[in-house]
Amino acid sequence: MMKILLVDDHAILRHGLRQILSDTEGMEVTAEAENAEQAIRLVREQPFDVVVLDITLPDRNGLETLKILKREHPKLAVLILTMHGEDEFGVRALKAGASGYLTKKSAPDQLVNAVRMVASGRKYIGPKLAEELAKSFGNESDQPPHETLSDREYQILCMIASGTALSEMAAKLSISPKTVSVYRARIMAKMKFSNNAEMTHYAIKHQLVQWAPKALTS
């Protein structure tokens, strides 16, 4: 029986995922976690064949959580299941050690298929993510500037462009407002932005975020 850990901060979504997977022959959801701390603790305490992990968690970014899990358990299969599109975090997730990447818009049978694939040691890469991977292997000069950012810098770029206040970013990322400001300065320097409005226009143009007029006033 395949043992699965679900990591998502929405109880209703976890319930739906549990039903889909537990109703599938050979699969059993043996534990759930609503944040990164719980997920890391559970993986340390008991064995799992697959971890289904969200990127947006209340205490720690899912990519950071992924890196910790893979560092401590290199053979553990981690499937990212998130609201973020493949063009946002897909390539970064795979580079961080994810076995697959799936959006929450996917059909239930896609989820079951993805879990089976990563549990068998294979990668689950959909057509859109395959396209993003192909782009990432191009010449560095062909890559958009945001690809030069670290995972945390990229995350803060998207949050600023979405109109998230500095204090809210600090709370969500569990870092100080001063640290957020340091990351913002790095992004500005690397990408030659003068203000948040330029950052927002760039993010919208490259489809990193949806239209966010609130951010233009920042």
Domain that holds residue 121: 2-136
One domain for residues 148 and 131:
no
- Residue 133 confidence (pLDDT): 82
Share of the chain above pLDDT 70, in %: 93
pLDDT tens profile 23-64: 999 999 999 999 999 999 999 999 999 999 999 888 888 998
- Residue 151 confidence (pLDDT): 85
The model's pTM: 0.72
Split into its structural domains, the chain has a count of: 2
One domain for residues 129 and 175:
no
One domain for residues 27 and 124:
yes
DSSP characters for the chain? Answer: -EEEEEE-S-HHHHHHHHHHHHTSTTEEEEEEESSHHHHHHHHHHS--SEEEE-S--SSS-HHHHHHHHHHH-TT-EEEEEESS-IIIIIHHHHHTT-SEEEETTS-HHHHHHHHHHHHTT--B--HHHHHHHHHHTS-GGGS-GGGGS-HHHHHHHHHHHTT--HHHHHHHHTS-HHHHHHHHHHHHHHHT--SHHHHHHHHHHTTSS---GGGGG-
One domain for residues 9 and 78:
yes
pLDDT tens profile 152-175: 888 899 899 888 999 999 988 888
One domain for residues 160 and 192:
yes
Answer yes or no: are the C-beta atoms of 39 and 6 closer than 8 Å.
no
Per-residue pLDDT at 132 exceeds 50: yes
CATH code for the domain in which residue 31 is found: 3.40.50.2300
- Give me the chain's average pLDDT, please: 88
Name which of 55-64, 114-123, 180-189, 206-215 the model is least confident about.
206-215
Q: Which of 136, 153, 188 is the last residue of a domain?
A: 136
Q: Which of 109, 136, 163 is the last residue of a domain?
A: 136
Q: Which of 136, 158, 182 is the last residue of a domain?
A: 136
- Residue 33 confidence (pLDDT): 97
Per-residue pLDDT at 71 exceeds 90: yes
- Residue 213 confidence (pLDDT): 41
One domain for residues 96 and 157:
no
The mean pLDDT of 71-87, rounded to a whole number, is: 93
Determine the Cα angle at 9 with ends 88 and 132, to 5°.
15
pLDDT classification of 205: cutoffs 50, 70, 90 = confident
- Residue 138 confidence (pLDDT): 59
One domain for residues 149 and 89:
no
pLDDT tens profile 93-109: 998 999 999 999 999 99
- Residue 214 confidence (pLDDT): 42
215 or 32: which carries more pLDDT confidence? 32
216 or 109: which carries more pLDDT confidence? 109
One domain for residues 120 and 50:
yes
One domain for residues 94 and 31:
yes
Name which of 6-20, 75-89, 202-216 the model is least confident about.
202-216
